Structure 1
Amino acid sequence: MTEQSYIPLSAVDVAGRLDLIAKVQGVEKAEKYFDSIPVKVKKFPVYNALLYCYVNAKSIEKAEAFMQQMKQLGLAKSPLSYNALLSLYSKVGQYEKLDILIEEMKDNSVRADKFTLSIWMAAYAANSDIDGMDKILQSMEVDPEIVMDWNAYAIAAKGYIKVGLIDKALEMLKSSEKFISGKRQRVAYDFLLTLYAGAGSKEDLNRIWKLYKSSEKLNNTAYLCMIRSLLKFDDIAGAENILAEWESGDTSYDLRVPNLLIAAYCKNGLVKKAEMFINRIIEKGKKPLPSSWDHLATGDVEANQFPMALKALESAFLARRRRWLPSRDTLSACLEYLRQQGDVERTEEFLPWFTLGVGSQSLVEIGIMQGSTDIERAQQEASSNKSQIEDLQPNMKKLFFGTKNPIIEINCLNIEETINDELTLVGKMHGGYLLKLEEAGKDVHRIWQTKGRIELERLDRDHVKIRFENIQECKHVITNGPWMLGGYIFSVKEWMRGKRLEEYRFDLVKFWVQIWDLPKDRINKANVWKIDAELGMVMEADISCPPEFNRPVARVRVEMDVKERLKKDQQIKLETGEELVVRLKYEKLEVFCYFCGVIGHDHLACRIRNQYCYDLIKCGGTIKDIKPNFTSQMKANKFYNGVAYTIADTPSKLCFEETPLPEREKWADGSQKAHL
Structure 2
Amino acid sequence: MILQSTLSPSTPHSLSSNLSSCSLYFPSGSRPFISFPSVKPLNHSIKCSVPQVYSHDTLDYEKRPMLKWNIAYKRISLMKNPELGVASVLNQCENEGKRFTKWELCRIVRELRKYKRFQLALEVYEWMSNRIERFRITSSDTAIQLDLIAKVHGVSSAEDYFGRLPDTLKDNRIFGALLNAYAGVKEKAKAESLMERMRNKGYLNHPLPYNVMMTLYMKLTEYDQVEKLVSEMKQKRIPLDLYSYNIWLSARGSGSAENMEQVFEEMKLEPTIVPNWTSFSTVASVYIKLGMLEKAEECLKDLEMRITGRDKMPYHYLISLYGSLGNKEEVYRVWNTYKTTFPNVPNWGYHSVISSLIRLGDIEGAEKIFEEWLPIKVSYDPKVANLLMGWYVREEPFEKAKSFFDSMIKGGGKPNSGSWEILGEGHMKEGRISEALSCFREAVLAESPKFWKPKPINVSAFLELCEKEGDHTNKEDFVVLLRQLGCFRDEFYRSLLAEHGGMELGEGEEGQLNNQNEDTQGGESELLFSNAE
Please, what TM-score do these two structures have when normalized by structure 1? Answer: 0.49
**CA 1:352/1:103 → structure 2, altered by over 3 Å: closer, same or farther?**
closer
Cα distance per residue 1:505-557 (max 9 Å; x no partner): xxxxxxxxxxxxxxxxxxxxxxxxxxxxxxxxxxxxxxxxxxxxxxxxxxxxx
* Deviations 1:52-105 (CA, angstroms, capped at 9, x unpaired): 233223233333333333333332221222222222222222111222221221
What is the one-letter code of the residue matched to 1:110? I
Does residue 164 in structure 1 map to residue 291 in structure 2?
A: yes
Taking only aligned residues, the RMSD between alpha carbons, in angstroms, comes to 3.2
Task: Give the Cα separation in 1 of the matches to 2:171 and 2:229.
Answer: 23
Which residue pairs with 2:318 in the alignment? 192
Answer yes or no: is the 8 Å Cα contact 1:310–1:334 preserved in 2: no
Go from structure 1 to structure 2 and tell me whether the alpha carbon gap of 1:288 and 1:97 turns closer, same or farther (over 3 Å shift).
Answer: closer
- Tell me: CA distance 1:46–1:200, structure 2 relative to 1, closer, same or farther (3 Å): same
Question: What is the CA distance between 1:226 and its match in structure 2?
Answer: 1.1
Distance 1:290 1:12 in 2: 34
2:462 paired residue among 331, 344, 348? 331
The 1:40/1:246 distance shift into structure 2, 3 A limit, reads same
Partner of 1:214: 340
Partner of 2:375: 248
Select 1:63's aligned residue among 167, 191, 196.
191
CA–CA distance in structure 1, aligned partners of residues 156 and 415 of structure 2: 36
**Corresponding residue of 1:106:** 234
Q: Matches of 1:66 and 1:191 in 2, distance apart? A: 34
Change (3 A) 1:325 1:150: same
Write out aligned runs for 1:343-362 (5 A). 347=471, 350-351=474-475, 354-359=478-483
Q: Structure 1 residues 20 and 329, CA, compared in 2 at 3 Å: closer, same or farther?
A: closer
Kindly indicate whether the alpha-carbon contact (under 8 Å) linking 1:18 and 1:30 is maintained by their aligned counterparts in 2: yes
Contact between 1:290 and 1:317, CA under 8 Å: does it hold in 2?
no
Indicate the SS of the match to 1:272. helix
Alpha-carbon distance between aligned partners in 1 of 2:406 and 2:281, rounded to the nearest angstrom: 39
Change (3 A) 1:150 1:281: same
Which amino acid is 2:317 matched to? F
**CA deviation map 1:552-607 (0-9, x unaligned):** xxxxxxxxxxxxxxxxxxxxxxxxxxxxxxxxxxxxxxxxxxxxxxxxxxxxxxxx
Give the distance between the partners of 1:288 and 1:39, measured in 2 at CA: 45
Aligned match of 2:431: 306
1:397-416 to 2 correspondences below 5 Å: none
Shift of residue 133, structure 1, vs aligned partner? 1.0
Q: Is the Cα–Cα contact under 8 Å of residues 322 and 330 in structure 2 kept in the other structure?
A: yes
Q: Is the contact made by 1:293 and 1:313 (CA closer than 8 Å) also made in structure 2? A: no
One of 154, 159, 166 as aligned partner of 2:281: 154
Residue 15 (structure 1) shift: 2.3
**Shift of residue 160 of structure 1?**
0.3
Change in Cα spacing, 1:90 to 1:312, as seen in structure 2 (3 Å) is closer
Opposite residue 176 of structure 1, the aligned amino acid is L
Q: How does 1:484-503 map to 2 (within 5 A)?
A: none
Determine if the alignment matches structure 1 residue 129 to structure 2 residue 129.
no
Shift of 1:258: 1.8
Superposition map of 1:39-78 within 5 A: 40-78=168-206
State whether residues 314 and 353 of structure 1, in contact with CA within 8 Å, keep that contact through their aligned partners in structure 2.
no
Report deviation, 1:263.
Answer: 1.3
Give, in whole Å, the separation in 2 of the partners of 1:247 and 1:69: 51
Deviation at 1:265, TM superposition (A): 1.6
Q: Is residue 19 from structure 1 mapped to residue 150 from structure 2 by the alignment?
A: no
Distance in 1 (CA, whole Å) between partners of 2:192 and 2:440 is 42
Task: Pick one of 128, 138, 149 that aligns with 1:10.
Answer: 138
User: CA separation in 2, counterparts of 1:328 and 1:142?
Assistant: 49
Residue of 84, 90, 105 corresponding to 2:218? 90
Aligned to 2:399: 272
Q: As a proportion of its length, which structure holds more helix?
A: 2
Alpha-carbon contact 1:301-1:333 (below 8 Å) kept:
no
Counterpart of 2:327?
Answer: 201
Q: Cα distance 1:237–1:32, how it changes in 2: closer, same or farther (>3 A)?
A: closer
State percent identity of aligned pairs. Answer: 30
Shift in alpha-carbon separation, 1:99–1:210, aligned structure 2, 3 A: same
Distance in 1, matches of 2:368 and 2:454, equals 30
List runs of 5+ in structure 2 lacking aligned partners. 1-38, 44-131, 510-533
* One-letter amino acid of the structure 2 residue matched with residue 158 of structure 1: S
Q: Which residue of 2 aligns with 1:317?
A: 441
Distance 1:153 1:335 in 2: 47
Shift of 1:153: 0.3
1:93 is paired with a residue whose SS is: coil
CA distance in 2, matches of 1:290, 1:28: 24
CA contact (8 A) 2:347 2:377 kept: no
Distance 2:291 2:190 in 1: 38
Q: How far apart are 1:336 and its partner, in Å?
A: 4.7
* Within-5 A mapping of 1:420-431: none
The 8 Å contact of residues 440 and 454 in structure 2, kept in 1 or not, is answered as no
- 1:233–1:38 distance in 2 versus 1, CA, 3 Å: same
**Distance in 1 between the 2:421 and 2:197 partners?**
48
The CA distance in 1 between the partners of 2:436 and 2:193, in whole Å, is: 49
Alignment size in residue pairs: 366
Three-state SS of the structure 2 residue aligned to 1:146 is: coil
Q: Deviations over 1:164-191 (max 9, x none)?
A: 00110111011111112335x2221111
After TM superposition, give the deviation of residue 45 of structure 1 in Å. 2.4
How far apart, in 2, do the equivalents of 1:54 and 1:247 lie? 38
Which is higher, the Rg of structure 1 or of structure 2?
1
Cα distance between partner residues in 2 of 1:230 and 1:218: 17
Correspondent of 1:182 among 309, 316, 324: 309
1:281 lines up with 2:408 in the alignment = yes
Q: Distance in 1 between matches of 2:230 and 2:298?
A: 28
Structure with the higher strand share, 1 or 2: 1
* Structure 1: runs of 5 or more not aligned: 340-346, 385-616, 618-676
Instruction: Tell me whether 1:79 sits opposite 2:207 in the alignment.
Output: yes
Aligned equivalents of 2:264, 2:284: Cα separation in 1: 11
Match of 2:388 among 243, 254, 261: 261
Higher relative contact order (CA 8 A, sep 6+): 2
Residue identity opposite 1:335 in structure 2? C
Distance 1:17 1:251, change over 3 A: closer
Cα contact 1:128–1:163 (8 A) shared by 2 = no
Say which SS state the counterpart of residue 186 (structure 2) adopts.
Answer: coil
Note the 1:516-555 alignment, pairs <5 A.
none
Q: Which amino acid aligns with 1:268?
A: E
Amino acid at match of 1:325: P
Give the AA of the match of 2:462.
Answer: L
Instruction: State the alpha-carbon separation in 2 of the partners of residues 57 and 72 from structure 1.
Output: 24
More displaced, 271-280 or 226-235? 271-280
